[in-house]
Amino acid sequence: MSKRTYYDGPDAMITDDLFIWRGTPAKSFVVRDLRNVGEARVAAQPASPAAVLAVAAGTVAAVGAGWTLLEPPTAYAIGLLAVLVPFAFTVPSMVRRPRGWELHASYRGAVVVLYACGDERQFGQVKRALRRAIENTRPHGKGLDLAAA
């Protein structure tokens, strides 16, 4: 019996039996054990406070070193950079946070994130492929589900 592949992309693969998310680390799920599959729209995390602090400290160190060597107008310009560079890292991440999508499901008693992606088209392809795989793993009736004519 051959396995049917519903989706085989750069970051996920969906077959009759498995959903494989090729992330870091890679995760695999048995399709027939997935329950309550749903999607969620999520916002990206803001800039890390540690990264902003490191950039601010580096900029202040550069301004401190150059302050004694440069003329006042140049030193003032560099001081202005010391204030603007940390803002350049934090403000865009707070104002224009990119959004992404996630597939969530119950898997063997635990709620898991099956897949996450920032590209709407790719996410839609994975979502539709998973839906087809789940529909095809349902047990087929013995003719009892037919309507009477």
- 144 in any annotated domain: no
Number of domains making up the chain: 2
Same domain, 56 and 89: yes
Query: Taking the model in full, what pTM does it have?
Result: 0.60
Judge residue 57's burial from the number of C-beta atoms within 10 Å of its C-beta, 0-12 exposed, 13-18 middle, 19 or more buried. Answer: exposed
3-state DSSP assignment of residue 1: coil
In a domain, 142, yes or no: no
Spell out the residues 6+ positions from residue 18 whose beta carbon is closer than 8 angstroms to its own: 28, 29, 30, 31
86 and 110 in a common domain: no
Backbone angles phi, psi at 102, to 5 degrees: -135, 145
Answer whether residue 113 is part of any domain.
Answer: yes
Sheet of strand 110-117, all strands in order from the earlier edge strand to the far edge: 34-43, 99-107, 110-117
Beta carbons of 116 and 100 less than 8 angstroms apart: yes
110 within a domain of the structure (yes/no): yes
pLDDT tens figures, 96-126? 556 788 999 999 999 999 999 888 899 999 9
Task: Tell whether 149 is covered by a domain.
Answer: no
Residues 54 and 120 in one domain: no
Give the model confidence (pLDDT) of 4-50 as tens digits: 999 999 999 999 999 999 988 899 999 999 999 999 888 766 656 67
Domain span at residue 54? 49-95
31 assigned to some structural domain: yes
